[in-house]
Amino acid sequence: MRSEGQWQGETPVRQYLNILGVTLPEVWRQLLPNASEAVREAADRWFLEDLVQEIEQGNGQLYPGVVSTLAYLKEQGISLFVASNGLERYVDAIRQYFCLERYFTDFYSVGRFHSPSKSALVARLLRDYDIEKAAMVGDRSSDIQAAKENGLLSIGCRFGFANDNELRDADFIVHEFSEIVSMIVEWKKI
């Protein structure tokens, strides 16, 4: 954006990290409150291109314990899904780079389904797969809200980007991804 004359000043990394996880249109509404819609759309395209390129170059990583935890849950016969506020191309880049289709049944994103919110996206996933009982694991308030609005168990992740306030309504809080195993296996028995 600087090279196009659309941004001056410092890069708002801290501000972005505070809102990471919301939809990109919301990111640009917050980071570029006075910009035109055309500028926000351009920022969206540039940002997506850079993110995908970084992922494809191996400049991303999963949290510790994610792969072993996903493998174990899959072995236990638990169907796993992704419900993301990310754009489809971003979610696909992560899925492909880390070969996550081994563990997940499907990858839902607000970009893929043009959903207005994560709650609506999760509602669609539940309908599409005729799921009556599920748990939502996430590190942002939108994850906890989606769980609550869809009658799901909510597990908040303190190792992600959420601040303490965002996870206050979660049913459970974990500090490492592997901690969800015992919660989900026990909860599934109920």
What is the reported pTM? Answer: 0.84
Q: How far apart are CA 189 and CA 173, in angstroms?
A: 20
Q: Which two tokens stand for residue 142?
A: 């939108």
Q: For residue 133, what are the contacts with CB-CB under 8 A and spacing of at least 6?
A: none
Q: Per the domain annotation, does 164 fall within a domain?
A: yes
- Alpha-helical runs (H) found in 87-128: 88-97, 110-113, 118-128
Q: What is the CATH number of the domain that holds 160?
A: 3.40.50.1000
In total, how many domains does the chain have?
2
Among 36-40, 52-56, 86-90, the range scoring the smallest mean pLDDT is: 36-40
Task: Flag whether pLDDT at 144 surpasses 90.
Answer: yes
Same domain, yes or no: 104 and 156? yes
Q: How far apart are CA 17 and CA 13, in angstroms?
A: 6
Same domain, yes or no: 21 and 73? no
Task: Flag whether pLDDT at 89 surpasses 80.
Answer: yes
Same domain, yes or no: 40 and 74? no
Q: Which two tokens stand for residue 141?
A: 């308030």
Q: Residues 160-171: pLDDT tens digits?
A: 777 778 899 999
Q: Which domain holds residue 52?
A: 13-56
Adjacency order of strands within the sheet including 135-138: 135-138, 153-157, 172-174
Q: What pLDDT was estimated at residue 53? A: 94
Distance of CA 117 to the CA centre of its chain: 12
